[in-house]
Amino acid sequence: MRRVPMVVSVLISGVLFGVGLSVSRMVVPEVVLDFLLFRDFGLLLVLCSAVIVTILAYQFAPRAMRKPWFASAFEERPAELSRRDTIAGAALFGIGWGISGVCPGPALASVGVGNWRVVIALAGIFVGAYLQGRLARQP
């Protein structure tokens, strides 16, 4: 029974995220490319807002709540910075984003608003994620 509220909260969060992406126009690759080419700084407000909300949530939620809504305790997850995974993955992600103007989250929301051209980029994202998973298993 505890799983149903968790699924509902994830669904509501996803819809809210998608609406935010649509309102900010991040679902339009041309808008993202204009931002990356320094022609339009509207998405800078979206980026700064997301950073502020994330910092506040990570700093204050564990202090304000005894435990998360759907877990037994807050967990600390140390970040690991490795050349092979983190740096190479970030570079590859940035190159793909710069070429296509498509980021995975906004791409899914973009399909939701009828931008079917993004399906090609999504296929590339899924192939890349699959290949990375296969390569990560190798020593």
CA 55 to chain centroid:
15
Angle at 95 between CA 27 and CA 132, to 5 degrees: 95
Per-residue pLDDT band for 139 (boundaries 50, 70, 90) equals low
Q: Give residue 12's pLDDT.
A: 92
- Tokens for 106, please give them: 């906004």
Per-residue pLDDT band for 6 (boundaries 50, 70, 90) equals confident
On the question of pLDDT at 82 being above 60, the answer is yes
pLDDT tens profile 84-137: 777 888 888 888 888 888 888 888 888 888 888 888 888 988 888 888 778 776
Sign of CA dihedral 57, 85, 43, 14: negative
Name the DSSP letter for residue 116.
T
- Tokens for 6, please give them: 């968790």
Q: Give residue 76's pLDDT.
A: 79
Written as one string, the DSSP assignment of 26-49 is: TT-HHHHHHHHTTS--HHHHHHHH
pLDDT tens profile 39-75: 988 888 888 998 999 999 888 888 888 888 777 877 7
Q: Give residue 51's pLDDT.
A: 92
Q: Give residue 55's pLDDT.
A: 92
Measured CA to CA in angstroms, residue 129 lies from 18, 119, 122, 135 at distances of 21, 15, 10, 10
Q: Give residue 1's pLDDT.
A: 54
Measured CA to CA in angstroms, residue 69 lies from 60, 74, 127, 137 at distances of 15, 10, 34, 33
